[in-house]
Amino acid sequence: MRMNWPLVWRIGKLALAVAIVGGVGWQFAKILQRPELWQRSVRLDPGWLAASALLYAAAFGVWGGFWRHLVRGLGERLSLPHGARAYFISQLGKYVPGKAVAVLMRVAMARAAGVRTGVAAITATYETLTTMASGAIVAAILLPLMESGQSSLGWKALGLLAIAGVPILPGVFNRLAARVSRPFTPANSAPLPRLSAASLLVGLLWTSLGWGCLGASLLALLRGLDIGGSGVHVSWLACTAYVSLAYVAGFLTLPAPGGLGVREAILQQLLAPRFALQMGEASAESFAIVVVLVLRLTWTATELVLAGGAALLPRPVPPPGSE
């Protein structure tokens, strides 16, 4: 019996859509069920909330721009609308446990736009790992400066850097990419391009700008958040350090969809001592929990808006002879 591949593909896309919607819905439900979110009156300035969302979107714009730069640097054509469509929609794939779905979605949409499958795969993987490595570097540099009494945080960031950073070293990554892609590369196709040390340096500098945007996003939320009359002040550098460490740790916890739980726990532990200096320990912990929950809701809603907007962009028409 012959397999009806078009039907299988349609069923697979439907199942993936259901999994993503289920993952996002589960995340929202878990957050909204937290009693801390409802125990105190929360007032949020709409202007600061919008600023927080826009800064989060800017971070992903920075990272998506680096991915498109890699694709074009390896000789492939990828227009800005098609690149934005692939990048922003694929971000929803991280809410499926394992994190790999996001990369697979991006590869599929880039391939539909005419990018070679191998190039789409190695650039999507490289961008993701480079972004996480730069986040670990930012945390490792800033945390000892912001938290002089907690030098162990810097060592934890360096540990995360070792996990995310070693695979992106050109000598390591090029060998891994060649080995993994070999079974899927036609015998008569051109070899995959190799990424250079310059790509690594540019990538680390480029993607570090995104972490600065995430830190500013948290800072904007803190500026606009008023819980029972409490107000707090945390510097942008501290916000950037905290977000970088929490985000990278959440990403590297593969079973956690979107880093849910891990990111919030780490960020809450980092913020609470800062809040305690200004409002006392009794209120600091619950305040920190509310902050990280509202931040997660804001960021997830922003991702949904970005993906929805990207879905409205025109679908690519693959050129003749593409893979």
Radius of gyration of the chain (CA): 21
pLDDT at 305 over 70: yes
Copy the structure tokens of residue 218: 């948290």
pLDDT digit string, tens, across residues 270-290: 888 877 776 666 667 777 888
**Of 133 and 252, more confident:** 133
Q: How many angstroms separate the Cα of 108 from the Cα of each of 15, 139, 283? A: 16, 32, 48
Measured between alpha carbons, how far is 217 from 292 in angstroms, rounded to an integer? 12
221: confidence class by pLDDT, cuts 50, 70, 90: very high
**Mutual angle of helices 5-32 and 100-112, in 10-degree steps:** 140
The Cα 63–Cα 82 span in angstroms is: 15
pLDDT band at 208 (very low <50, low <70, confident <90, very high): very high
